[in-house]
Amino acid sequence: MTPKKQSLAEIQMRVLNFEESHKLKATPEVRVLDLLSELGEVAKELVKGSNYGKEKLSLDRDKWEMELGDVFYGIITLSNGTHVDLEQALDKTIRKMEARIVAKGHPGSE
């Protein structure tokens, strides 16, 4: 049976409940450092998976999924700790990128 898909708001609440039930409170500063550490692990998997760019990328799917999940979890805990609704934040970002594409032909900031 496939699990029910959750909205970002439901996911944020799920993570918040998990954090509270396991007493995993941390400051936003600590959350950012943890997120950067996890992002470094994502980069490491990419480098390893391409033999430092010498070969076509080949990833261990389970490891890759776990590392991306760690980054996602870190973004959620940082968002929760700073009271950011990720659905609203994502909507704003997409609108910003759409406006850039219309104005400049690409979504880049410069």
Determine the Cα–Cα distance for residues 37 and 79; give it in Å rounded to an integer. Answer: 17
> pLDDT tens across 80-99, in order?
999 999 999 999 999 999 99
Name residue, tokens 């936003």.
Answer: 28
Closest of 110, 31, 24 to residue 74, by C-alpha: 31
Q: What are phi and psi of 105, to 5 degrees?
A: 85, 0
The predicted structure's pLDDT at residue 10: 96
Rounded to the nearest 10°, the torsion over CA 56, 60, 66, 68 is 10
> pLDDT tens across 19-76, in order?
999 999 999 999 999 999 999 999 999 999 999 999 999 999 999 999 999 999 999 9
- Domain 8-85: which CATH number of 3.30.1490.20, 1.20.140.10, 1.10.287.1080, 1.50.10.20: 1.10.287.1080
pTM (global) more than 0.95: no
